Amino acid sequence: MPTDLWRFAQALYQRPGVEAACLLLQTQGADVCLLLCAAWLERRQVTCRDEHIQALLALAQPWQQQVVIPLRQLRQSWREQAQSDNALKQLREQIKQLELEAEREQLERLAACTQDWQCSKADAPLNWLERLVPQPGNRDALQTLRIAAAQLSA
């Protein structure tokens, strides 16, 4: 299993069903970067505490709202026009790369935030995914993420 969040997220996202699960949860209001971080924390058996949830949300929400979402909206708004306009298609690809870099930066910030968090004791809660998805989250999609994360090689 990759130990840094960015590599873990890349490996997890490539697993069967994970992209679809993430996009479904995103349409329901979830922050995919937070979900990937949640799966990483669960996989590493980091104790899920209220103050940790609040720290992740405080870090992620402004970045998503001010950086990632505007880039995504711009890219998506150009989808139709870019099919018949090659210059716009190229610009759209550049926006897509900026969006990916913004997500990578968010993941790096989330990882830095968690660096001193302790692994759990046997009875400590590890329900990161449920805590970081807007309620009600799609349980099947969350389970897909959890299973895929557990299957990543150590």
Q: Which amino acid is at 25?
A: L
pLDDT confidence band for 1 (50 / 70 / 90): very low
Taking only the tens place, the pLDDT of each residue in 73-123 is: 999 999 999 999 999 999 999 999 999 999 999 999 999 999 999 887 666
- What does the radius of gyration of the chain's CA atoms come to, in whole angstroms? 16
Q: What single string gives the DSSP state of each residue in 119-134? A: BPPTTS---HHHHHSP
Specify the pTM: 0.91
| Interval 10-23 mean pLDDT | 95
Find all residues with CB under 8 Å of 48, minimum gap 6, and list them.
Answer: 41, 120, 124, 125, 126, 127, 128, 131
What mean pLDDT is reported for the chain? 92
| Interval 48-75 mean pLDDT | 96
